[in-house]
Each structure stands twice: as C-alpha cells, then as structure tokens.
Amino acid sequence: MNKFLKVFLLSFLLSSCSYFLTDHKDDYLKEKQEKSLALPKDLATRPIIDYYPIDNSNPELVGSEYDIPMPQQVFSSGTSNEVRMHRLGEIRWVYVETLPSSAWPMMNDFWVTSGFGLAKSDPTTGIIESDNLSDNERETKLVMKVEHGIRQASSEIFISHVVEVDGMWIRVEGEENIEEDTMRKVLDYFASTPPSGGTSLVALNLNYGQKAALIQDDNKANFIELNLEYARAWAAVDRALKEALIEVNDLDREEGVFFVKFSREEQKGFIRRMLSGDSFDGEFQILIKEIDEKTCRVTIIAEEEEAKAYERELLSEINQSLS
C-alpha cells in the first residue's frame, strides 16, 4: 500500500511539474466555441464590444492565422483624485484626475464663491471669465480654460490675468499679475471640496480632447502622438521617464532625443522564471519630433535587434506615466 501511494505521489508530482514548466500562452487557441447561452425573455445582458474584430468582408484573409492590429491603449489615470500644480516657464496649470465634464461645474462654483465674480461661462469652449477686477481706468479680468489632460480621465486648468490695452487683451506683467495666487486657490478648492461624482451634460464635448495617444499605424510602427507644443512635450516625456523609473543615460534637447536603459523580465511561467532567471536589459533612443506648432510625435529606436520587440512596451510605460 505504501509503495502504491509513493508511486501515485511521484506520478502526480511529475505531471504537475510538466504542466508548470510548459509555456501555456497559446492554450487559448485550443478552445472550442460553444453554443450561445439562451437567456430567459425577461433577462438581458450588457452589449458586448469586440475590441479585436476580425474582418470577414474578405474571406481569403481569414484562415488559420490572422494578424490582429494593436488597439489604441486606454488606461485609467488612477483613483487617487490627485490634484497638483505644474509649471513650465511662465505657464502654470492645475492637474486634476477627473474628466473635464466633472471639473467644469466645480470651477463654476469656484468662481461664484471666490469673490472674482462670474461674467462668462461657455461649456463648449471650456472658458470662464471673471468680472472686471480693476478699480482704475483699465479693465482687467481672469480667464480660465478647462481642457482635457494628457492622461485618460484627467483635466488641466489654465488661468490668464489679462488687461485691455487699445482694444486688445494682453497678459498682465509684473507683481500685479495674480495668476499664481489664483491657481493656488483653485488647487485648494479641489483639495478641500469632496468630489460629487456628477458631470455636466453641456460640457461633455470637453472630454474628447485627450492630449496623448499610443498609436500603431498601417505599417505597424508604434508612436505616441502628443497634442502639445515641443517645449511641453519634452518636459512631459522627461517627467514620465522619472515617474516610471526609467534610467536616462544621456539626453539632447535640441535634437529631441533621450538615451535610456530599459529592463524587463521575460514573460514565462512562474516555475520557468524561477529556474532560468532570464531577463531583458537593453538601450533605446526616445525621439521627440515636432510635427507642427501644437503636435509632437514620440518614437523609439532600439540599439540592438533583440530590443526591438520591447519598443511598444517602453512606449506604453511612458504613455502611462505622462501627466
């Protein structure tokens, strides 16, 4: 009996090890499609969205193998309701992790309670203007712009303090400019006001201006498209590399290139990874190219042939850390 038990345990152990040491990443291809569930008439399911559709219009292209294009990356900006201030030269803005349609009613409430007054509120453009702030002959006002941020489900709040000169509105210079002080009040307002979870229906169009997207073109080239001017695109990528803890060996701002080192463990089974300890460690160039005044493109060049397989993964790391 003991001998039989030992043989059984040894056989079970060997079969288990063979399972863990085998790569199962393609097991899903062996699955068979079953009949659809028949639901009772009084029940319904949510609509199913196929994010990897197969083009059946041309049967000759559908066979034992099919090259599915990479979908556009969509990720959450987090649930921390983070609020912070950014600065680039003379430009300042408040970053908040909520959609513009949710930030919009909060900013309207801010202007009503701030003492600046609310002279104009246009949800189609995302612009809010204060009442006249000056006691002298010149008219001055604060102009706020609510935009979609770089990350998914994020907003950026810009404020300009302007004065009317010869019928034109120009930025107030010197100590009279109260942009930074007002920005800090906006920052405090977001931090102290609990999110209501509501959204403005009239400001839903502001949700479609995301400033970053990871894209794969028809030639299967991967890149990040940034709807930003070059100076801010460079600063955003620089900050993203620091946040993602990607090692920067060198950089050249004039040429728009970062030289980085990127490491990853190979995606294997748990037991195989423990036994082999294999990992990837390669060097890349991150290029930032200005397409026009408000658009830049971020691409990756691998220094070694082996590293080319990790180009999109590196782009994904940068894209998720952009803010």
DSSP string, 284-323: EEEEEEEEETTEEEEEEEESSTGGGGGHHHHHHHHHHH--
Please give the Cα distance from 180 to 126 (Å, whole number): 20
Taking residues 115-143, report their average pLDDT: 88
pTM of the model: 0.67
pLDDT tens for each residue of 30-86? 777 777 777 777 665 544 545 455 555 555 655 555 565 555 554 444 445 678 888
Question: Chain-centre distance of CA 285, in angstroms?
Answer: 21
The residue ranges of every structural domain in the chain are 83-207, 211-321
pLDDT tens for each residue of 249-301? 999 999 999 999 988 765 444 444 444 455 667 889 999 999 999 999 999 99
pLDDT tens for each residue of 187-206? 999 888 766 556 788 888 88
List strands edge to edge, sheet with 295-302. Answer: 212-216, 222-226, 295-302, 279-292, 257-265, 247-252
Pick the CATH number of 211-321 from 3.40.50.300, 3.30.310.170, 3.40.1440.10, 3.90.1150.10: 3.30.310.170
Look at the domain 83-207 and name its fold. Answer: Alpha-D-Glucose-1,6-Bisphosphate; Chain A, domain 4 (3.30.530)
Residue 152 confidence (pLDDT) above 90: no
Residue 122 confidence (pLDDT) above 60: yes
